[in-house]
Structure 1
Amino acid sequence: MPSPRRQDPTSNLRLGVDLVDVHAIEDSLAEFGDRFVHRIFSTHEVEVSSGSPKRLAARFAAKEALIKALDLAEIGVDWRNIEVRGDAAGRPGMRLAGNVAARARELGAHDILLSMSHEGSLAMATVIAQIRPMEPAATG
């Protein structure tokens, strides 16, 4: 049986889910302040979140969920290359840059769906990345 982290290269969907303790974000904000914020979040994300630890935790979870969905843990990611942005209708989405965008192109990711939520001391996010299926290798 394959490892649960392993992705089938012919699959057209990839899933990532993450759950974050809001208190951990509060602790990082208290200990590291702006250094933490500017290392992880874009200016836009900070403005939209109004500094709310719950909203920042949901965005952190979204970034982690994308890392899982696109299997980015091994390439090293600048957190700000994953930006949570809403569309004109207010639906959450993601803007990718740098090596994250390059990996998404390499995989053929053409649509990334995001859902985020927070309740009490927990924040969560789910990412579904739609991937163009790879052509099966010719055998001959």
Structure 2
Amino acid sequence: MQNDQPLLFTPLVGQVGKTPPDWLFGSGGVTGLPTPLHLPQGTNVAVGIDIIEVDRVRKVFEKHGDRFLQRVFTPLEIQQCRGKVTRLAGRFAAKEAISKALGTGLHGVAWREMEVVNLRSGRPSVRLHGRARQRALDLGLTAFDVSTSDLAQMAIAIAVAIQTDYPNNDIPLLSDREV
């Protein structure tokens, strides 16, 4: 007899081969879920997306100026945006998208711990610091990519995180010289 009970897919809740912590699923833990949790295996992908009105960022920037910039963006991000509100909005949306791909939202991860910087080629890249970096390591992330686009009125970003079955200490790391 075939079991028609649905499966719950939640990518990147933990590392491959390790049981995720119960606290991720609320007070009932894994046993309180409405359907069985299908644990990630092999290569897994998590996606985050965000869209924001450029005027929202413009108004906050005009009202709070450097205080807003220092709270949300790193010095390199501020330098690369050159005061252009559409670029700031794109980076803001990218940070929201990154936090969603990390599975945290903005709970437990600070704005400046997620950094979106352009490589010399102009391509945006993700650098994670502090708790965001630790979350990525805890998940066994082996790649993170981000793309942004903006118009006069809107900015949008998408972030994609990849998790493969590399043990944490075997994830290949490269230097930051390209930035």
**TM-score bin, normalised by smaller chain:** 0.7 to 0.9
Give the % identical residues. Answer: 34
One-letter amino acid of the structure 2 residue matched with residue 7 of structure 1: P
- Structure 1 gaps of 5+ residues are 136-140
Shift in CA distance, 3/73, structure 1 to aligned 2, threshold 3 Å: farther
1:21 corresponding residue in structure 2: 53
- Structure 2 gaps of 5+ residues are 1-5, 13-38, 168-179
Shift in CA distance, 3/17, structure 1 to aligned 2, threshold 3 Å: farther
1:100 corresponding residue in structure 2: 132
Shift in CA distance, 2/62, structure 1 to aligned 2, threshold 3 Å: farther
Instruction: Say yes or no: does 1:34 pair with 2:38.
Output: no
**Worse overlay, 79-88 or 102-111:** 79-88
Quote how far apart the aligned CAs of 1:112 are: 0.6
Quote how far apart the aligned CAs of 1:77 are: 1.7
Shift in CA distance, 103/49, structure 1 to aligned 2, threshold 3 Å: same
1:7 corresponding residue in structure 2: 11
Residue by residue, what CA displacement relative to the aligned partner does 1:77-115 show, whole Å, maximum 9, x if unpaired? 221111111223221101100000000001111111111
Quote how far apart the aligned CAs of 1:3 are: 7.6
One-letter amino acid of the structure 1 residue matched with residue 44 of structure 2: N
State the structure with more CA Rg: 2
2:31 corresponding residue in structure 1: none
Alpha-carbon RMSD across the aligned residues, in angstroms, is 2.1
In structure 2, distance between residues paired with 1:3 and 1:26: 40
- Specify the SS of the correspondent of 1:25: helix
Greater length-normalized contact order (CA 8 Å, ≥ 6 residues apart): 1
- Specify the SS of the correspondent of 2:11: coil
Shift in CA distance, 97/49, structure 1 to aligned 2, threshold 3 Å: same
Instruction: Say yes or no: does 1:80 pair with 2:112.
Output: yes
In structure 2, distance between residues paired with 1:113 and 1:31: 32
TM-score, structure 2 as length reference? 0.68
1:112 corresponding residue in structure 2: 144
Please say if residues 11 and 44 of structure 2, whose CA atoms lie closer than 8 Å, have aligned partners that are also in contact. Answer: no
Please say if residues 77 and 117 of structure 2, whose CA atoms lie closer than 8 Å, have aligned partners that are also in contact. Answer: yes
In structure 2, distance between residues paired with 1:2 and 1:83: 35
1:55 corresponding residue in structure 2: 87
Please say if residues 22 and 121 of structure 1, whose CA atoms lie closer than 8 Å, have aligned partners that are also in contact. Answer: yes
Please say if residues 80 and 118 of structure 2, whose CA atoms lie closer than 8 Å, have aligned partners that are also in contact. Answer: no
Quote how far apart the aligned CAs of 1:133 are: 4.2
Please say if residues 107 and 132 of structure 1, whose CA atoms lie closer than 8 Å, have aligned partners that are also in contact. Answer: no
In structure 2, distance between residues paired with 1:23 and 1:2: 41
Residue by residue, what CA displacement relative to the aligned partner does 1:58-82 show, whole Å, maximum 9, x if unpaired? 0000000000011122642221111
